[in-house]
Structures are given as structure tokens and as C-alpha cells.
Structure 1
Amino acid sequence: MSHVEEQDTGAPDAPTAPLAGKIALVAGATRGAGRAMAVELGRAGATVYATGRTTRDKVSEVGRATETIEETAELVTAAGTDSGSGGTGIAVPTDHLVPEQVAALTERIDRDHGRLDILVNDVWGGDHLIDFSSTPMWEMNLENGLRMLRLGVETHIITSHYALPLLVRNPGGLLIEVTDGTAESNRAYRESFYYDLTKYAPIRMTLGLGEELKRHDCTAVCVTPGFLRSEAMLDTHFKVTEENWRDGIEKDPGFAIAESPTYLGRGVAALAADPDRARWNGASTSSGDLGKEYGVTDTDGSRPDAWPFIKALAEGRNPDPADYR
């Protein structure tokens, strides 16, 4: 069973279907945090459009055929069935760098439902392009750097351009921008010029779009996971599984505070169900902050708070991971 299919809700006193009747688009839902957010929104009762480039018939440049958007949609529907919320997943193959495909996607949602309540901008797919070798910007591969910006920034802009007119049609809409790091943690240089730009951009997008969306009684929030135990992080980088992930700590001490994708998924679902979510407008926050605010936990019952832990490690303070769970 996939680790995003955990039966424990992380918030046992929560209503069964707080998002019943809501329509969500998770752009970039093939795997990792995107998949988990789609699943948890479905568990809470939403109808979730799951998009991405890898399908059962075609694999994206990421090169992972093991996760597909069809599987994500099936996991969403299964979660909605298991919880009794009625949440449903719908897979729509979409390259978010192609405006015509994104336009067709939002037109379909409009035809199907006439509304969009939650937009999650999680498109990425650039891990294979990152250069963390301390190479100066002018010596980096320009083509790879610009591709990274296109995948992590341009996709979000294109998606918002076409989806936000549908989101603002009704008050209460929520835009979630997903990145790596908070405004606070990203004050420090992220070791790679193009990656730094790519991951700071969603924070600024949220700030600006929050100002524009609040005029329509809608909200924008930027979220980040901590040290994410994504499928690729587990089997490619650390060569472990979800069951024995702690074996990866020997390779990287920061992995001691790693979290499953479900943790952020639960936090985002709780945020989407919060009637007072407008108080988050324009903010940059983390899975750890959302866990504390809404009382949700990771699949093991803990509440990892990765960014303070990572900072303490960087400062040479030898932190105890138990103090950050």
C-alpha cells in the first residue's frame, strides 16, 4: 500500500467530509507532495482534478514510469470511499508549459462544474537539472538552468493565468503555491543559482496574488514540506523504502526529521477546510506549522518540524531529532 493511502486521518475529531462539494485542481499530482495533497483533499470530500505529464502510456522527462496521474486519481477516489466523504479523483494529462493544454483543462472544469474552489500549484519535475556542486552561475549549464525556471516558475504562471478566473468566480477560493522552503528559511542562498530563483519565486507569487485575490474574497498561501520522503528521494537518492527510511540517516543526518508526503497533504486539506483561512493570505508556511496549527500529524503520529532542525544542524548545534517531532 502506498504511504499516501494511510487510513489514519491524523485528525480523528475532524468532520468526515469538510470539503464535500468542493472542486480542486492539483497541478503536478503525479507523485510526492502533489499526489498526497490530491489524496487528502479527496479524503476530505473534494472532487480533485489531478494533472501531470506521466501517464500509463507516456513518461515525462523525469523518467519515472512507476507513478502516474491515473494512479493518483484512483488513490483519491479510494480515499474518498474509505473515509465515506465521496471524494473523487479525475486524471487529466496536462503539460503545464503548454498554454493550450492548460486552457483546455480549465475549460473542462468549467463545463463539468462551473467552479473551482481550490487550486494547488505544485508543478515541478526539475530535480534532475539541479547542480549543487558549488559551481558558479556563469559556469552552469544555461539550458538546464532555464529549463528549471520554466518547469518551476513558468508552469505556475500559466496555470494561474487560466485557472484563477474560474477560482475568483465565487468567494472563498484558495490558491496554494508549493515550493521548497519558507520565506524565512529561503533568506539564505540555496547553493544553486537557478534552484534558488525557482524556489523563491512561488513565495513572491503568493505575496502578489494574495493582494489581488483578496479583492475577490479569495486567499493565496505558499506552503512547503520539510525533508520530504518522496518516492524519488527514497528509492533513488537514499535507496531505502518507506518501511526502512531511517537507514538513510547515516547518509544525511538531516533525514532524521524526514516526513512522509501525507503530512503536508493533511495540513493543506485542513487549511482548505478552515473557514477562517483568509488569515493566511499572502503567507509562507510549512507542513510543520500547519501540523501545529490544525493538530494534524504525519502517518506515524508525530509532527516533524524540519526547517528549524535543518537550521540547527547547519549551525553545528547537534540537535536531537526527538525535540523536533
Structure 2
Amino acid sequence: MRVAVTGGCGFIGSAVVRHLMQRTSHQVLNIDCMTYAASEESLAAVSSDPRYRHAPISINDRPALEKVLAEFQPDAIMHLAAESHVDRSIDGPDVFIQTNIVGTYCLLDVAHRYWLKLEAEKKTGFRFLHISTDEVFGHLAPEDPPFTEDTAYDPRSPYSASKAASDHLVRAWYHTYGFPAFVTNTTNNYGPWHFPEKLIPLMIINALEGRPLPVYGRGENLRDWLFVEDHAAALVRAVECGKPGETYAIGARQPRSNLDVVRRICALVDELEPDPAGPRERLISFVSDRPGHDFRYEIDPGHAERCLDWKAEHDFETGLRRTVQWYVDNRSWWQTLRKQRYDGRRLGVEK
């Protein structure tokens, strides 16, 4: 297959590109305009492969999209390009509207017009996979069952509202135009190359540097954690065998409270790099909760597991240990980001 991936230099996008390049024979076009959270280093292991190409263009740039799709002739598009940080969406929602809603519309329109011109066999096999979040479903009370593909939408932040709108656009193109599109919704991802403003990498880095570990509220909010390489494997399975019009909820059945996650990070950092000043849990501090902070997200991935013949391979302990070790071993990457692009004043304690 010839697969175009939008946002392929982002955290999840780069994991998808690495999976495609290292575990399949597909050709890959990475469409990424390189915003603050993009990392070319995350693709250094595959960037010299002749099957890989990077097009540094925006999904809002219609002429550039039309040109690059016409040249590459993809069999599938995996749409991961998005603004994704909730705190940033609260501070400045405009870029989330422009990228997640307007950008998705622009990409859909260009991809639809490209698809209409394909010859019959290639047109039948074409797929458009839109990658989204479980945050579009709102929040769960402690006694509620996990989210499924049938859960009603109830977004609570500018970020989740913008992603919900993009999901609706993709489904509208399927129902109205017969465009072969489908959607995945996933829960919190973690792993190597995660931008330092997100909960797990921020806590690892702050723990290594002896900085405060800020936790919203009392740290009781629950999230279902999925190792990013497991998510990438699920998405590649979806683009290879998923059905147009379907939705696949992708998760790992591994919920943890934010405070439990931070405490486990402290224990792992203490084990790998002991601090003479004492255990890192001393650095935990509780800060004012953010507006509209959803209490719990959790996904039932049963439908995706059955239909895609996929299941998360990493348990949380194994995945978190790999992640902490990676940040210990790759200081130069995140230290450079902190100096060049990262606003250290931002708490960034949540996805």
C-alpha cells in the first residue's frame, strides 16, 4: 500500500510511521507542517529509507495537498494531524478550531475529490482513517461502564469539542458522499518521544531534575493508559482491514488515577537514578484543578480487538518502565526541547 500519514512527526503519528516502515512493506508519505510538538528526530531511524517521504505542508493548504496527493497516489490516508493539549485549548482555542475542524474539512474535501478520480479497483480499495480521542465522549462517573463505539458524544473542553466536530465531519462524508472513511477513538497514550508538556513525560523529566511534580486537584482523576506502540499497531491493522463507516474504540483496559501514575513514576526514577535527597514522592504537590476537568475516561476495546484481531501487548508496568528508561537514556532530546520550544511555566499535567 501507499499510505499518507498526516501529523507523522507527532507523538502518535511518528509511532505509526515507524511501525509502517519497520514492520510492513508499505510506502509512506508523511504530511506534517512541523508545529511546536513535531520531532524529526523521532523518525531518524526510518527517514533515509527510499519508501519514506516527508512533505512539510499544512492540512489547511489546499493547493499543496492536492499536488502532493496527485503525485504520491495514496491507497489510504491516516489522519493524525491535530492540536491535542487540553490546557493549551483552554488558553487559546483558535488554533484548535483552525487545525482540528477547518483542517480536517480541507483534508476531507481534497481527499474526496482525489478519490472520485480514481479508477474503479483503486477507488474501491481506498480508505480514509480518522484518528480521534475518547475525550469526545465526556466523562464517566465511577460506577459507569467504559466508553464503547455507541457512547453518545458529550465533549467538555475546546480540544474535545474540536475533535468531536472533526469526527462528525468524517462520518458525514461517509454517509453523504459514500466516501470510504472511518474513525478510531483512543484513550491516553504514553511512551517514547512524548512531548514534555504531557503528564507522564513531564513528571519523569521533573523527577529527574528534582523539580516539583504538580498534580491537579487531589490526583483522583482516572485515565485508561495505552502504550503508543500498541496504538500504532492497532491503527495499522485498522487501515489494512477496517471497514468504511465503522468506529473502533482502542484501549488497553489499564485505568490508573493520575496520582497513582505519578507515584509509580517516582518509584521507577528512584530505582533507575537514586536521589541522595530522598524519594521523589517528596516533590509531589497538588495544584488548583483546571476548568472542566473530566473525572474518568476508560474504553472497552472489545469490538476493536475482535474486528482488527489486535490486543495491546504492553501492561502498564512494562510500558511505563520502558518509557521512564527511554527518558533517562535520551536527555539530549528533551533538554533541547525545553530550551528551544517548551514553555516551562505551563503545567501540562493532563492529556
Deviations 1:26-68 (A, max 9, x none): 01111211112222233222111012122xxxxx3x2x47x12
What is the 5 A alignment of 1:306-317? Answer: none
> What's 2:233 paired with?
266
How many angstroms apart in 2 are the aligned matches of 1:284 and 1:29? 21
2:31 to 48, 51, 57: 51
Structure 2 residue matching 1:45: 3-state secondary structure: coil
What is the 5 A alignment of 1:111-260? Answer: 115-125=73-83, 127=85, 129-131=88-90, 144-167=92-115, 169=118, 170=122, 171-181=124-134, 187=152, 189-192=154-157, 194-212=158-176, 215=178, 218=180, 220-229=181-190, 235-238=196-199, 239-241=202-204, 252=219, 257-260=224-227
Structure 2 residue matching 1:129: 3-state secondary structure: helix
Q: Which moved more, 1:32-41 or 1:248-257?
A: 248-257
How many angstroms apart in 1 are the aligned matches of 2:184 and 2:318? 16
What is the 5 A alignment of 1:285-296? Answer: 285-288=249-252, 289=301, 292-293=305-306, 294-296=309-311
Task: Specify the structure having the higher radius of gyration (Cα).
Answer: 2
How many angstroms apart in 1 are the aligned matches of 2:4 and 2:203? 31
Give the C-alpha shift of residue 161 in structure 1.
1.7
Structure 2 residue matching 1:53: 3-state secondary structure: coil
How many angstroms apart in 2 are the aligned matches of 1:53 and 1:153? 16
- Contact (CA 8 Å) 1:291, 1:297: kept in 2 or not? no
Give the C-alpha shift of residue 205 in structure 1.
2.2
How many angstroms apart in 2 are the aligned matches of 1:296 and 1:93? 33
How many angstroms apart in 2 are the aligned matches of 1:49 and 1:153? 22
Give the C-alpha shift of residue 157 in structure 1.
1.4
Give the C-alpha shift of residue 191 in structure 1.
2.9
How many angstroms apart in 2 are the aligned matches of 1:185 and 1:286? 16
Aligned pairs, how many? 240
Give the C-alpha shift of residue 182 in structure 1.
7.1
> What's 2:146 paired with?
none
Q: Residues 147 and 184 of structure 1: is their aligned pair in 2 closer, same or farther, counting only changes over 3 Å?
A: closer
- Contact (CA 8 Å) 1:182, 1:203: kept in 2 or not? no
What is the 5 A alignment of 1:53-132? Answer: 53-54=33-34, 60=35, 62=36, 64=37, 67-68=39-40, 71=41, 74-76=44-46, 88-109=51-72, 115-125=73-83, 127=85, 129-131=88-90
Structure 1 residue matching 2:198: 3-state secondary structure: helix
How many angstroms apart in 2 are the aligned matches of 1:53 and 1:281? 28
Structure 2 residue matching 1:259: 3-state secondary structure: strand
RMSD of aligned alpha carbons: 3.7
> What's 1:317 paired with?
none
How many angstroms apart in 2 are the aligned matches of 1:145 and 1:256? 23
Structure 1 residue matching 2:5: 3-state secondary structure: strand
Give the C-alpha shift of residue 208 in structure 1.
1.7
- Contact (CA 8 Å) 2:70, 2:114: kept in 1 or not? no
Give the C-alpha shift of residue 227 in structure 1.
1.0
Q: Which has the higher strand share?
A: 2
- Contact (CA 8 Å) 2:4, 2:78: kept in 1 or not? yes
TM-score, normalization by structure 2:
0.57
- Contact (CA 8 Å) 2:137, 2:154: kept in 1 or not? no
Partner letter of residue 266 of structure 1? Answer: A
Give the C-alpha shift of residue 302 in structure 1.
9.1
Partner letter of residue 102 of structure 1? Answer: L
Structure 1 segments unaligned to the other structure (5+ residues): 1-21, 55-59, 82-86, 110-114, 132-140, 305-325
Partner letter of residue 52 of structure 1? Answer: D
Structure 1 residue matching 2:190: 3-state secondary structure: coil
> What's 1:297 paired with?
312
Structure 2 segments unaligned to the other structure (5+ residues): 140-151, 253-300, 320-351
How many angstroms apart in 2 are the aligned matches of 1:212 and 1:303? 44
Q: Residues 256 and 285 of structure 1: is their aligned pair in 2 closer, same or farther, counting only changes over 3 Å?
A: closer
- Contact (CA 8 Å) 2:7, 2:79: kept in 1 or not? yes
- Contact (CA 8 Å) 2:136, 2:153: kept in 1 or not? no
How many angstroms apart in 1 are the aligned matches of 2:7 and 2:195? 19
Give the C-alpha shift of residue 103 in structure 1.
2.0
